[in-house]
């Protein structure tokens, strides 16, 4: 994909992306995941270098759970409503494992991420570890959801 950046190791990422990955890993350690035992963390960098983190929050009634990406996005929007989102990192690990597990945002999170990107009229870069590709930096959420449902569909 044009514009997609790939890296073999986290150390190969730029300093800003490494920082976000580090903060996302810290956030994942505080996830509430007693059912899936799958700990996800997200770190978002807003304009003016404001950091916002989130982690997954599970509930025995699964539909009431919340993904790390949406926790962070909603926190950023409610705490810093006038700031644009620049970049976000998403990481995960399984219980009692320090090594990160490849992960990409779920479909619901992709839709929410695209909504924020569209509203701010500026791309949000996404940093994540994928199966086989190593670390990637996507230049825009639209790479995750190329055939999206958006406001134009409602007209």
Give me the sheet containing 125-130, strands edge to edge. Answer: 5-7, 134-138, 125-130, 85-94, 38-46, 51-55
Q: ∠ CA(139), CA(141), CA(142), 5° rounding?
A: 95
Closest CA to 17 of 105, 122, 87: 87
Pick the CATH number of 5-154 from 3.90.1490.10, 3.40.140.10, 3.30.465.10, 3.90.230.10: 3.40.140.10
Task: Show the tokens assigned to 132.
Answer: 């086989």
- Alpha-carbon span 116 to 67, nearest angstrom: 16
At 152 the pLDDT is 77
Per-chain mean pLDDT for the chain: 94
Catalytic residues: 69
Question: Three-class SS of residue 97?
Answer: coil
Query: Does residue 155 surpass a pLDDT of 90?
Result: no
126 Cα distance to chain centroid: 6
Q: Residue 1: pLDDT band by 50, 70, 90 thresholds?
A: low
**Greater model confidence, 131 or 106:** 106
pLDDT in tens, 36-82: 999 999 999 999 999 999 999 999 999 999 999 999 999 999 999 99
Rg (CA), the chain: 15
pLDDT in tens, 126-154: 999 998 879 999 999 999 998 887 777 78
At 51 the pLDDT is 98
- Alpha-carbon span 96 to 90, nearest angstrom: 19
Query: Does residue 22 surpass a pLDDT of 70?
Result: yes
- Alpha-carbon span 38 to 94, nearest angstrom: 5
Contact between residue 130 and residue 102 where contact means Cβ atoms under 8 Å apart: yes
At 154 the pLDDT is 80
- Alpha-carbon span 114 to 122, nearest angstrom: 10
Main-chain dihedrals φ then ψ at residue 45, nearest 5 degrees: -105, 120
């Amino acid at each position: 994909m044009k514009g997609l950046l790939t890296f073999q190791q986290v150390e190969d990422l730029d300093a800003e992306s490494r920082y976000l990955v580090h903060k996302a890993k810290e956030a994942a350690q505080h996830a509430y995941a007693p059912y899936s035992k799958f700990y996800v963390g997200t770190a978002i960098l807003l304009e003016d270098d404001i950091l916002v983190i989130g982690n997954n929050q599970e509930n025995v009634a699964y539909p009431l759970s919340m993904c790390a990406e949406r926790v962070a996005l909603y926190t950023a929007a409610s705490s810093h409503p006038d700031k644009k989102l620049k970049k976000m990192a998403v990481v995960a690990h399984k219980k009692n494992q320090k090594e990160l597990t490849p992960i990409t945002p779920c479909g619901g999170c992709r839709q929410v991420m695209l909504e924020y990107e569209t509203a701010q009229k500026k791309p949000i870069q996404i940093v994540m570890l994928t199966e086989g590709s190593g670390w990637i930096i996507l230049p825009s959420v639209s790479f995750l959801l190329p055939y999206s449902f958006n406001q134009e569909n409602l007209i």
